[in-house]
Structure 1
Amino acid sequence: MIVLFTDYGLTDSYVGQLHAVIARAAPGEAVIDLLHHVPNHDIRAGAYLLPAYAAEFPEETVFICVVDPGVGSSRAPVMLRAFGQWFVGPDNGLFQLLARRDVDHQAYIIDWRPERLSHSFHGRDLFAPVAAMLARGEFPQASDTGLLGSAGSEWPDELAQVLMVDHFGNAITGVRAQTVSPDARLTVNQTVLPRARTFSDVPIGEAFWYENANGLIEIAVNQGSAAEKLAIRAGDPVELS
């Protein structure tokens, strides 16, 4: 199984071109479009979202992960083995939280190169073929580094910030709910919110925070938009007390 996690969006041809490469290189392999709306160029947001979403997939799943504003630069292309899964993408901090949370992780710099390598589309020309090799049970030419580079090493274990706003207007943060008190109150944009178990536990139109289905703290409004009601945007800080 190959899973795609990018900031490419779905209005352009980028995702389709990834699928085309995988179809040629690993025909019949299941391909899942997990998320293509990581906030544009926001490596840190992707780094906190990826572990939460990857946990839903079985061991040996191969992830193509592209939030790569430095594509074509000196940043290394890497493969990370963590939690029994493979992650293929740039060594720019995107895999930092995964590696930190799995002390037995293993990192490899990808040495293999295709005949055609665009300076601006490593997702298609490098990461997709490498992911297809791994899905076929082959190991591409790579150097065992053991560890990732230092990008993102200063980021906290829990990021008290809105990572992204989904199409419902729910605001997803970088804090795992299990790390805070069940009675904690959340403050965002000078508004203090209580915790609720789920949407129907509060009146229609009321804002609250809850542990979402992936274990992250999320701000929501029952049958409404937290982003609109509370003027929330990606990057807004939150405080838990």
Structure 2
Amino acid sequence: MNEPVSSETYSAQIRRLAELTARVSAQRSEAHTWYAQQVSAADRAVAEAAEAVRRAEAEVTAAQRMVDRVDGEVTYLWAQLRDRLGMSVRRLGDPPGPARDVAGDPVPLLRGVRELLERTGTPGELPGSVNPLLIACGVGGALVAYLLGIGTRALGAGSGGDLAVGLPVLALVITLLGPLVGLAPARLLADRRHAVLTPRPMILVAASGLATTLLLLAVTYTR
């Protein structure tokens, strides 16, 4: 048979059970708090990681745009350099690639290269050393116009009707335009030397062509 338990022993057991229940409740509450803290920390870590990924993707996109911009600028400046030097693509080669171990913003460097090319590529005036060539352009243009005028006049002499009247007039007009014909080769000369055909060489060409035209007309009509 079960022996009766004294009231003191029963009370002690109740107190011990209450203490254990309180300890378990405290440990359970602590576990819940720790779990909530861990979940919150994990959520913050995930959010920070997602933000870091977003920033990294934005930086990659910006870097790719910068690379495309730099590549396009380099290709354009390389073409400008080729035009300045008058070299073919095969002789000059491909544009240079990115240099290693180079840091910094490439935009100011490219701007400096562009400004340098603009300064060196600005067309200047033709030097005085080409004056004989300009005179030759004027004389040659006048001779070409004079010969065309002779041919037109001869064609009119062998024709009849209105052509016999109109072609000699046309021949005279062509001859009188002789001083201006030399401007075409003079322009080609200026382009090849990357210069501007300013009024000085134009006047020199026109004056030499006019003198040649007047001399040819004088010789023709004094025969």
Instruction: State the TM-score, normalizing by the size of structure 2.
Output: 0.22
Bigger share in helix: 2
Q: Which has the higher contact order (CA 8 A, sep 6+)?
A: 2
Largest Rg, 1 or 2: 2
Bigger share in strand: 1
Instruction: State the TM-score, normalizing by the size of structure 1.
Output: 0.20
